[in-house]
Chain A
Amino acid sequence: SAVISQKPSRDICQRGTSLTIQCQVDSQVTMMFWYRQQPGQSLTLIATANQGSEATYESGFVIDKFPISRPNLTFSTLTVSNMSPEDSSIYLCSVLGLRDEKLFFGSGTQLSVL
């Protein structure tokens, strides 16, 4: 299975600031995704991180608010921009393995916005 390192693991941020979350995988993977889990809720897909091109965003999520980079096959970042308390959530990086259809998750970033 892929080993995913996500950081920071948690942060407390001020309203109006931005936070960049990093996701590093120990092996090459086909696809990388970013999910959000709001308090007490299920996971919602934010976007698919595409290597070398713009991410593919789901309905309700836009690039200006959640810019994503994926410079190579093993690394991606998600930025939460101009944060408000409504952005307080767990943000999870996930990857699809090269060999099979298993989707693995990082340990998540617990974000609190004051």
Chain B
Amino acid sequence: GEDVEQSLFLSVREGDSSVINCTYTDSSSTYLYWYKQEPGAGLQLLTYIFSNMDMKQDQRLTVLLNKKDKHLSLRIADTQTGDSAIYFCADGDTGRRALTFGSGTRLQVQP
């Protein structure tokens, strides 16, 4: 079945860049997402990328997609303490519409 994997934890200093990585197995994935979850809250859609793209930039966020290796990354520039949260990678395909989520990466930003 489909599988999405992420590292569990990342710690960075305020002002540094953060890079959160994700790998997926479903070759039919047509779009990939990054969500942010703060404690006690629902999921906030941060950004997404279609599988025919290899990069997308949105303010401090840069998404890189290597479709050949099925590898997705999220780079957060100038990381702030408010970026501390759990980040979920998810993939989907047009046939199924529902998403498969990774286990989430907890980002801790040290002041």
Contact = CB atoms under 8 A, between A and B. Distances in A.
Nearest to A110: B40
B77 interface: no
Contact of A31 (B33, B88, B97): B97
Contacts of B100: 45
A105 B42 contact: yes
A65 interface: no
Contact of A103 (B50, B92, B104): B92
| SS of B interface (majority) | strand
B40 A104 contact: no
Q: How large is the interface on A (under 10, 10 to 19, 20 to 34, 35 or more residues)?
A: 20 to 34
A96 B97 CA distance: 8
B42 A107 contact: yes
A76 interface: no
A58 B44 CA distance: 24
Contacts of A101: 30-31, 48, 50, 92, 94
Contact of A92 (B33, B43, B48, B90): B43
A102 B45 contact: yes
Interface string B80-95: 0000000010101010
Contacts of A94: 43
B40 A103 contact: no
Given A48-B98, A101-B92, A103-B92, A41 B103 contact: yes
Interface string A1-12: 100001000000
A1 B90 CA distance: 18
B45 A42 contact: no
7 contacts: A6-B42, A43-B43, A92-B43, A101-B94, A102-B45, A103-B99, A106-B42
Interface of A: 1, 6, 30-31, 33, 41-45, 48, 92, 94, 96, 101-108, 110
Q: Which 9 interchain pairs have the tightest Cβ spacing?
A: A107-B42, A105-B43, A108-B42, A43-B101, A42-B101, A42-B103, A105-B42, A45-B98, A101-B31
